[in-house]
């Protein structure tokens, strides 16, 4: 893989930012999990992959990185953002643990999900513990910006939960007709479920870096649009992504009958391809022939183009936010790299 010179430099900045965020955040998380005592702490270490047979790596550290970069953007040190970075990792992981119960997902990061390994009661309780710890780590930091950040975390978590409920409720609705999920409803759900927590990462990091509320609001918008751009891209990749690069089966989301933006937009578009797609998805898409046909109809009805345009629009909003905030060139480059690593997976 070759990069043009600037993109390569940005890429390195991004890699460094992720390493910096991870190195600062992980020891704090480990200490918090250990403090939960032998039994609950052991379950926490299992989830994070911190055990003899575990991966040792808890995800991509995207959210902590966003917090760290936001603090640096407002002139503070990376270390100032750590309570926000740790808090967002804690709530993100609490959500994963509870979502795996809710969605009956048996695997998480290549190992049995917590509920599968330790049972539903233990999974509920470790999730609840991480949820409280998130507020605890923020507030106990004593940072002047911590109470405001913790308040935003509470608001973000309300959005995340409401988004999760809407996502579940969507599955009970028909694909077509007046009761179908609209593009606007889907986007509101995606903003709540995915955007709100990235918004907190950025705004929380900025607040701990000493930013005023108005500046934090700008970082909130940045994180929110980044989350939405990510979701649009993820929805496109879920159908047309290269299985080798995404790690998911081809047409995976269509196979699972997941409601995603390209499909919802294609069904709402009207016209021959849209109507044919409606008949197909109402019946259920099962065979390889039907999967390929459905993907073609989504594309023909304009669903793929719409989702890609939406991703580009949200990415442009991210760039607008970044430009409106004066920040060191290196920090700006790191943000760009982070956005690319999220969005650029399709290229």
Task: Give the pair of three-digit tokens for residue 45.
Answer: 């270490």
> Whose Cβ is closer to its own copies: residue 85's or residue 315's?
85
> Whose Cβ is closer to its own copies: residue 48's or residue 135's?
135
Least CB distance to its own copies at residue 231 (A): 20
Question: Are 67 and 202 a contacting pair, CB within 8 Å?
Answer: yes
Q: Nearest CA to 344 among 249, 261, 234?
A: 234
> Whose Cβ is closer to its own copies: residue 9's or residue 161's?
161
**CB-based burial, 178-208: b 16+ in 10 Å, e otherwise:** eebbebebbbbbbbbbbbbbbbbbbbbbbbb
Among 62, 122, 203, 277, binds its own copies (CB under 8 A): 122
Among 110, 121, 247, 284, binds its own copies (CB under 8 A): 121
Q: Is position 124 an interface residue for its own copies (rule: CB under 8 A)? A: yes
Least CB distance to its own copies at residue 44 (A): 11
Residue bearing tokens 């995976």: 252
Among 8, 19, 60, 158, binds its own copies (CB under 8 A): 158
In whole angstroms, how far apart are CA 197 and each of 39, 87, 88, 190, 227? 29, 11, 7, 11, 8
Q: Nearest CA to 108 among 59, 44, 41?
A: 59
Q: Is position 259 an interface residue for its own copies (rule: CB under 8 A)? A: no
In whole angstroms, how far apart are CA 99 and each of 86, 168, 218, 264? 20, 11, 29, 23
Least CB distance to its own copies at residue 153 (A): 7
Show the site string, 21-60: x = touches its own copies by CB under 8 A, - = not.
Answer: --------------xxx-xx--------------------
Least CB distance to its own copies at residue 122 (A): 7
> Whose Cβ is closer to its own copies: residue 121's or residue 247's?
121
Q: Is position 161 an interface residue for its own copies (rule: CB under 8 A)? A: yes
> Whose Cβ is closer to its own copies: residue 127's or residue 278's?
127
- What gap in Å lies between CA 233 and CA 62, rounded to an integer? 16
Among 146, 207, 273, 315, binds its own copies (CB under 8 A): 146
Show the site string, 70-109: x = touches its own copies by CB under 8 A, - = not.
Answer: ------------------------x---x--xx-------
Query: Which burial class, exposed, middle or buried, applies to 290 when counting CB atoms under 10 A from its CB (0-12, 13-18, 19+)?
Result: middle
Q: Is position 171 an interface residue for its own copies (rule: CB under 8 A)? A: no
Among 27, 56, 112, 147, binds its own copies (CB under 8 A): 147
**CB-based burial, 65-86: b 16+ in 10 Å, e otherwise:** bbbbbbbbbbebebebbbbbbb
Residue 26: partners with Cβ closer than 8 Å, 6 or more residues away: 58
Residue bearing tokens 């970075």: 85
How many separate helices (H) and strands (E) can be counted in the chain?
Answer: 17, 2
Among 79, 120, 272, 316, binds its own copies (CB under 8 A): 120
> Whose Cβ is closer to its own copies: residue 6's or residue 39's?
39
Among 29, 33, 129, 269, binds its own copies (CB under 8 A): 129
In terms of phi and psi (left: phi > 0; alpha: psi -120 to 50; beta: otherwise), the region of 284 is left
- What gap in Å lies between CA 125 and CA 127, rounded to an integer? 5
Among 7, 9, 165, 250, binds its own copies (CB under 8 A): 165
- As a residue count, the chain comes to 347
Least CB distance to its own copies at residue 161 (A): 4
Q: Which residues are near its own copies by CB under 8 A?
A: 35-37, 39-40, 94, 98, 101-102, 120-122, 124-125, 127-129, 131-133, 135-136, 139-140, 146-147, 150-151, 153-155, 157-158, 161-162, 164-166, 168-169
């Amino acid at each position: 893989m070759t990069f043009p010179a600037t993109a390569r430099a940005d890429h390195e900045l991004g890699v460094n930012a992720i390493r910096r965020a991870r190195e600062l955040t992980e020891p704090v998380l480990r200490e918090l999990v250990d403090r939960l005592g032998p039994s609950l702490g052991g379950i926490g270490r299992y989830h994070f992959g911190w055990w003899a047979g575990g991966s040792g790596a808890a995800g991509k550290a995207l959210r902590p990185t966003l917090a760290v970069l936001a603090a640096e953007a407002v002139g503070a040190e990376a270390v100032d953002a750590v309570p926000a970075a740790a808090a967002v990792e804690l709530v993100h992981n609490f959500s994963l643990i509870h979502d795996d119960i809710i969605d009956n997902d048996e695997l998480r990061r290549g190992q049995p999900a917590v509920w599968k390994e330790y049972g539903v009661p233990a999974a509920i309780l470790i999730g609840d513990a991480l949820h409280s710890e998130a507020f605890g780590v923020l507030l106990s930091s004593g940072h002047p910006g911590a109470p405001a950040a913790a308040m935003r975390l509470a608001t973000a978590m309300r959005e995340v939960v409401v988004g999760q409920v809407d996502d579940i409720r969507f599955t009970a609705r028909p694909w077509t007709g007046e009761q179908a999920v609209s593009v606007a409803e889907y986007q509101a759900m995606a903003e709540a479920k995915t955007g709100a927590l990235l918004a907190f990462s950025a705004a929380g990091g900025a607040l701990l870096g000493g930013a005023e509320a108005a500046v934090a609001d700008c970082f909130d918008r940045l994180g929110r649009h980044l989350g939405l751009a990510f979701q649009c891209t993820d929805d496109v990749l879920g159908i047309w992504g290269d299985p080798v690069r995404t790690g998911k089966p081809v047409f995976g989301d269509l196979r699972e009958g997941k409601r995603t933006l390209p499909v919802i937009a294609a069904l709402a578009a009207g016209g021959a391809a849209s109507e044919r797609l409606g008949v197909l998805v109402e019946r259920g898409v099962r065979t390889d022939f039907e999967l390929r046909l459905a993907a073609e109809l989504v594309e023909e009805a304009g669903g793929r183009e719409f989702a890609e345009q939406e991703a580009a629009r949200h990415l442009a909003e991210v760039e607008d936010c970044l430009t409106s905030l004066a920040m060191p060139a290196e920090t700006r480059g790191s943000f760009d790299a982070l956005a690319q690593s999220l969005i650029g997976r399709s290229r």
